[in-house]
């Protein structure tokens, strides 16, 4: 197996040399879940700073849950500011997942501005090749995309970890209200225990009902 390289700040520093005073790493989590919100995390850094990011920082998908819990507060402390915006399961049903990624991202930006981040001189560094923020924020903030930014760029890896831990904790708290779906372990994704819960109990208000119907997980035999 090819070893996974650690992220760096090379790309962020390139953006800084091109004029960005701040780089805001952006990543989403929960996009493919059947229950719970979709989350967009943001971590703000000064690309000219020589501060080192936390040792072991990587894309959240490459880390164990325990390691993410250790790294999240370190990533938050390293960043100038951080935020996680959410869009609910109901919003996903009504508006669609892509629109909700933009909504969650816009909410994260609002949080950053509330703590004093001047986004007018920032560049949002977005993982992937699709600018899902455009419909919500327009040209308020410059956005650049980069495939595998969550793997290669430390600011985006930090955003990934912060968002993942935030959402995971939320799903664990929802598990306490609805213990029949094993959300404490599957975090709302489609595990066998989650499907068993759906068959036995039916969906909750935290489920993305349109997704369940699309996957034919709800039929006349399942209580609404």
How far is 102 from 150, CA to CA, in rounded Å?
Answer: 18
CA angle 175, 181, 187 (to 5 degrees): 60
Residues 60 and 75: beta-carbon distance below 8 Å: no
Q: Classify 156 as helix, strand or coil.
A: helix
How far is 67 from 65, CA to CA, in rounded Å?
Answer: 5
Of 186, 222, 22, 17, which is closest to residue 119 (Cα–Cα)? 22
Written as six digits, the tokens of 30 are: 């929960």
Give first-to-last CA distance, the chain, whole Å.
45
How far is 159 from 50, CA to CA, in rounded Å?
Answer: 19
Pairing status of strand 142-146 against strand 38-45: unpaired
In the β-sheet with 81-87, what is the strand arrangement from edge to edge? 81-87, 38-45, 22-29, 122-127, 142-146
Of 122, 133, 50, which is closest to residue 81 (Cα–Cα)? 122
Q: Residue 176, annotated ligand binder?
A: no
Q: Residue 127, annotated ligand binder?
A: yes
Of 50, 16, 5, 32, which is closest to residue 125 (Cα–Cα)? 16
User: Binding site for a divalent metal cation: which residues?
Assistant: 27-28, 127
């Amino acid at each position: 197996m090819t070893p996974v390289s650690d992220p760096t700040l090379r790309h962020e520093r390139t953006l800084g040399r091109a004029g960005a005073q701040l780089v805001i790493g952006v990543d989403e989590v929960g996009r493919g879940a059947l229950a719970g919100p979709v989350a967009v995390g943001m971590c703000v850094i000064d690309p000219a700073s020589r501060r080192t990011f936390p040792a072991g920082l990587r894309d959240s998908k490459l880390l164990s849950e325990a390691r993410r819990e250790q790294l999240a507060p370190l990533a938050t402390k390293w960043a100038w500011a951080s935020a996680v915006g959410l869009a609910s399961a109901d919003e996903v049903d009504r508006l669609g997942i892509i629109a909700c990624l933009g909504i969650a991202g816009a909410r994260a930006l609002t949080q950053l501005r509330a703590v004093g981040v001047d986004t007018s001189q920032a560049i949002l560094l977005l993982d992937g090749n699709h600018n899902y923020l455009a419909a919500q924020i327009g040209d308020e903030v410059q956005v650049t995309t980069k495939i595998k930014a969550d793997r290669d760029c430390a600011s985006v890896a930090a955003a990934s970890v912060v968002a993942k831990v935030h959402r995971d904790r939320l799903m664990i708290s929802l598990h306490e209200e609805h213990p029949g779906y094993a959300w404490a372990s599957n975090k709302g994704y489609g595990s066998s225990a989650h499907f068993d819960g759906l068959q036995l109990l039916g969906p909750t208000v935290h489920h993305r009902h349109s997704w369940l119907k699309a996957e034919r997980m709800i039929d006349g035999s399942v209580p609404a």
